[in-house]
Amino acid sequence: MSFDMNLGLGMSSLGGGEDNNYDVVIIGGGPGGASAAIYTARADLRTLVIDKGLTAGALGITGKISNYPGVPGPVTGAELVEIMRQQAESFGAKFITDKVVGVDISGERKMVMAGTGAFYAKVLILATGSMGRTSVVKGEEEFLGRGVSYCATCDGAFFREQTVAVIGNNDEALEEALFLTKFAAKVHLVVPTPELKAREVLAAEAKSHPKIEMQLGTRLKEIVGNGQVAGVRVHPRDGEEQTLPVTGAFVYLQGGKPITDYLMEQLETQPNGCLLVDKEMQTSVPGVFAIGDLLCTHVKQAVIAASDGVIAAVAADKFINGRKAIQNDWK
């Protein structure tokens, strides 16, 4: 597939000179992209990372992380990403802040179009993650990192013997609610629809758990508090609005769609929009790899995305240099 991607940029931006030619271009500088950059740069591959900014991704807006291996917490998501970025830069990786608007992956040399111009690479590693919802609940942004969370696995331990709410109606919401029962004294599961839409085995486990109180057919109206979350205001379908006293609100409303618009349907996907990859993270196009939330990984953790990034980087080195295997790096 080939198409016109000039997009109003000057022809000097499209020339493919030495300054914009790389072995590897990584789109997305979160934990997956930064980890990939550490490995590709250390393998002496000329590496460029194009990222929208430290706080653009899911990790970047996380207020407190205490479970990333080797990094004594708590640290913010932005701080953790910055540590990874500095490590990658120490090996020669280059980071720029820009937005990718399109790619052409039809030939051996891949082209990436960004606001500042065109970049070319032998290999692309896609690490753009998934997008949040276009609308948020009142109080959600205000209390993000102060009781509002999108990751029970990350933050559940901070809510020992407390009452929390989980809002959502999918597998992830129920899995996280069940996980929170390890720490919380009580979990309100606020479900917007009258029936659960998660897998039957998860629904059955959640319904029977003594710590989980179901709030079916109930809409979240507002997250309230004073500096910290103190409650969630909800409206049952067949009742009056009420405020549930909680200290944590874990929001899993729909909106985790992989960010793939810039790919213009050049890669094979699953029905849910997630990219298809092989065991080395390579997509349906040779030399194009995808990692992290683009794969709709079952466990959404920074360390999983970082692992994906390492696998893709090792495979990228093999792809570029024609190796059948990579040399071990733990001597």
List pLDDT tens digits, range 141-160. 899 889 998 778 778 889 99
Whether 296 is catalytic:
no
Residue bearing the bigger pLDDT, 99 or 44: 44
Contact status, residue 24 vs residue 289, Cβ threshold 8 Å: no
- Which pLDDT belongs to residue 255? 61
User: What local confidence, expressed as pLDDT, does residue 326 receive?
Assistant: 52
Tally Cβ neighbours within 10 Å of residue 133: 13
For the stretch 34-89, pLDDT in tens is: 999 999 999 999 999 999 876 566 676 666 788 888 888 788 878 888 999 999 99
pLDDT at 18 over 70: no
HSE-up of residue 266 (Cα within 13 Å, Cβ side): 22
Question: Is the predicted pLDDT of residue 282 greater than 90, yes or no?
Answer: yes
The answer to whether residue 89 sits within a structural domain is: yes
Residues 300 and 284 in one domain: yes
Q: What is the pLDDT of residue 329?
A: 55
Reduce the DSSP state of residue 187 to 3 states and report it.
strand
Q: Answer whether residue 331 shows pLDDT above 50.
A: no
- DSSP category for residue 211: T
> Pick from 252, 281, 305: which residue ends a domain?
252
Do 193 and 275 fall into the same domain? Answer: no
Q: Kindly name the residue from 104, 151, 274, 308 that is annotated as catalytic.
A: 151
Selecting among 104, 154, 274, 293, the annotated active-site residue is 154
> How high is the pLDDT of residue 150?
79
Note whether 305 and 227 are same-domain residues. Answer: no
* 140 occurs within a structural domain: no
Verify that 165 and 273 share a domain, yes or no: no
Give the separation between CA 250 and CA 183, rounded to whole angstroms.
14
pTM of the model: 0.67
Read off the pLDDT band of 133 (50, 70, 90): low
Lowest mean per-residue pLDDT among 122-136, 264-278, 306-320: 122-136
Residue 198's domain comprises 148-252
Q: Can you tell me the mean pLDDT for 118-140?
A: 85
- Inside any domain, residue 69: yes
More confident residue, 16 or 105: 105
The answer as to whether 143 is a domain residue is: no
Q: Is 154 an annotated catalytic residue?
A: yes
Q: Is 114 helix (H, G, I), strand (E, B) or coil?
A: strand
- If you average pLDDT over residues 263-276, what whole number do you get? 88
pLDDT at 308: 96
Same domain, 240 and 263: no
> What DSSP element (H or E) covers 86?
helix 77-90
More confident residue, 105 or 324: 105
Indicate whether 288 and 261 sit together in one domain.
yes
Say how many C-beta atoms besides its own lie within 10 A of residue 11's C-beta: 7
- Does 2 fall in a domain? no
Q: What is the model's pLDDT at position 56?
A: 60
pLDDT at residue 306, rounded to an integer: 94
**Does 302 have pLDDT greater than 60?**
yes
Q: Indicate whether 24 and 127 sit together in one domain.
A: yes
- Extended beta strands in the chain, E state: 21-27, 47-51, 94-97, 100-104, 110-114, 117-126, 148-149, 163-168, 186-190, 212-215, 218-225, 229-236, 242-245, 248-252, 288-290
Q: Do 73 and 94 share a domain, yes or no?
A: yes
C-alpha to C-alpha distances, 303 to 13, 67, 91, 257, nearest whole angstrom:
36, 9, 21, 20
- In-domain check, residue 330: no
138 found inside a domain: no
pLDDT surpasses 90 at 283: yes
- Considering 155, 293, 308, 317, which one is annotated as catalytic? 155
Range of lowest pLDDT (11-15, 206-210, 253-257, 282-286): 11-15
Among candidate residues 218, 252, 286, the one where a domain is terminated: 252
In a domain, 4, yes or no: no
- pLDDT at residue 132 tops 90: no
Stretch 13-37: mean pLDDT: 84
- Active-site residue flag, 44: no
Is 118 in the same domain as 175? no
pLDDT tens sequence across 198-244: 788 889 999 999 999 999 999 999 999 999 999 999 999 988 999 99
How many domains is the chain partitioned into structurally?
2
User: What pLDDT, on a 0 to 100 scale, did the predictor assign at position 55?
Assistant: 57
Domain edge (last residue) among 226, 252, 278: 252
CATH value at residue 270? 3.50.50.60
- Could you tell me which residue, 285 or 115, shows the higher pLDDT? 285
Asked if 21 and 123 sit in the same domain, the reply is yes
198 and 303 in a single domain? The answer is no
Please determine, for residue 260, whether its predicted confidence score (pLDDT) is greater than 50. Answer: yes
Please give the pLDDT value at position 5: 42
Q: Which residues make Cβ contacts (< 8 Å) with residue 238, sequence separation at least 6? A: 217
Do residues 108 and 16 share a domain? yes
